[in-house]
Structure 1
Amino acid sequence: MLQYKTISNETLGLLIALQKTQSLNDALLAGGTALALQLGHRKSIDLDFFGKIDADEIFLRSEFSKVGTLITLNVNKNIKSYLIGGIKVDIVNYPYPWIYPPLIVDSLKLAQIPDIAAMKLAAICNRGSKKDFFDLAALLDIYSLNQLLDFYKQKFHDGSDFLVLRSLTWFEDAESENNPELIKKITWKKVKEKISAALRSYIKESGLKNNS
């Protein structure tokens, strides 16, 4: 059962409408909203779709403009960003395989948690936002860091788990950002402590030296 309390009625309505479009037929909802819908830990407002997107920009705009007022924010080869009915929507042409088949609930198609977890670690490698760290703390309630790294290696064969480990406690860039709107309450201090403790435990168990 999805945790619909994590998104607004407007976001849910847009999600339902977009997943009915031909353009997103092979795309899955991933990112923070897909994770929040499954874990119920925080509110989320943006929609991030990942997959093989064959439609060109003209066709995308034609379909999306029928769903809501459309404003184009940014378009490049791999990522297209829009405001649709005032809600930010990212469409990502995604080359990486899914570890698990889609989670299909109430006719919605979502990436499963292991895939999203791997993508969260990749995001943290590329300057993680505060939301990414809060999401990681929530993931550590159900998976060990070793399991999360295994998901990452399954998904990103060209990725570096060493870089992931080095990035996990690089909180400085996120310090000035606002906290996400939480449903399951946890402080930013506790988030950092939780991730740092998981990293120390992983290093101890794996026999690695902490050179960070």
Structure 2
Amino acid sequence: MHEKVLPGNSKALLAEIDSSGSDAVRGWVLAGGTGLALRCGHRISVDFDFFRTVGMDQPALRDALGSIDTYETLQDSERTLTVLIKGVKLSFFQVRDPFLYDRDPYSFFELADIREIALMKLVAIANRGSRKDFVDLYTILRDGPILQDYFRVLPEKYGQERINAYHILKSLTYFDDAEGEPMPHMLEPFNWEECKAFFVREAHAIILG
């Protein structure tokens, strides 16, 4: 794994959570940009997005985090807890969507498969595509399965009734929101214009069949 993608305070926080001994922090799956960065080493990533499909014990989770340090609660709702602790944002989500691919153990959690993260990034872009989401998905697609392969698998993860393929394809060619955001701190050469052209080309190829 590419631990160079984690700032020092993030690595230290993971170690403290791991040593807390609380069952509430076990059984989570790390996905999102940091999960991908640990696998690919393409950029610095500071936030942690953890997921699980079984019930989460939010009071126990809050107690476990509170035993490490005081924290600011950014969101505390049913099946979601997001906090800022020691300058690091941690999000915990209980989701109904199954994990389709095997995960790898890492620290106190498991790392989502790159293909799993790609499916989640497609849905994130459909909701509101950030520049980081485009950068991450492009990084995956440059060296892995083609975009159309992921569209075939999306219904298996999210259900056919929740997938609007045409809307997702349109979102892959809409960059207005992303253009207003800074580039992530990249650890390898990256061309934003090539990234945009890639998605336009791939989306049009799927639409035209």
Answer whether contact 2:103 2:113 (CA < 8 A) is retained: yes
Q: Which amino acid aligns with 1:199?
A: A
Correspondences of 1:14-93 after superposition (within 5 Å): 14-18=13-17, 21-51=22-52, 52-56=54-58, 58-93=59-94
Could you say which structure has the higher helix fraction? 2
1:147 corresponds to which letter in structure 2?
A: D
Query: Does the CA contact (< 8 Å) of 1:118 and 1:152 recur in 2?
Result: yes
Contact map agreement 1:48 1:89 (CA 8 A) in 2: yes
Cα distance in 2 for partners of 1:108, 1:60 equals: 14
**Aligned position for 2:121:** 120
The question of whether the paired residues in 2 share the 8 Å contact of 1:31 and 1:48 is answered with yes
Other-structure match for 1:6: 5
CA RMSD of aligned residues (A): 1.8
**TM-score of the superposition, structure 2-length normalised?**
0.89
Structure 2 unpaired stretches of 5+: none
Cα drift, residue 85 of structure 1:
1.1
How far, CA to CA, are the matches of 2:126 and 2:88 in structure 1? 26
- Deviating runs (4+, > 6 A) in structure 1? none
Instruction: Provide the identity percentage.
Output: 33
CA distance, structure 2, for counterparts of residue 149 and residue 18 of structure 1: 36
Separation in 2 of the partners of 1:127 and 1:85? 28
Aligned length, in residue pairs:
203
- Relative to structure 1, the CA distance from residue 106 to residue 54 in structure 2 (aligned partners, 3 Å threshold; closer, same or farther) is closer
* Structure-2 change in CA distance of 1:105 and 1:81 (3 Å): closer
Within 5 A, what are the aligned runs for 1:138-153? 138-141=139-142, 142-153=144-155
Question: What is the rounded CA distance, in whole Å, between the counterparts of 1:152 and 1:21 in structure 2?
Answer: 34
Structure-2 residue corresponding to 1:210: none
CA change 1:53–1:88 in 2 (3 A) is: farther
Deviation per CA, 1:37-94: give whole Å up to 9, x if none. 11111110001100134213x3222110122331111211132110111101111111
Quick one: distance in 2 between partners of 1:162 and 1:24?
Answer: 38
TM-score, structure 1 normalization: 0.88
Cα contact 1:117–1:151 (8 A) shared by 2? no
**Partner residue of 2:110?**
109
Distance in 2 (CA, whole Å) between partners of 1:194 and 1:17 is 41
Q: 1:86 to 1:37 in 2, by over 3 A?
A: same
Write the letter of the residue equivalent to 1:153: P
Aligned counterparts of 1:182 and 1:151: Cα–Cα separation in 2 = 29
1:195 to 196, 199, 204: 199
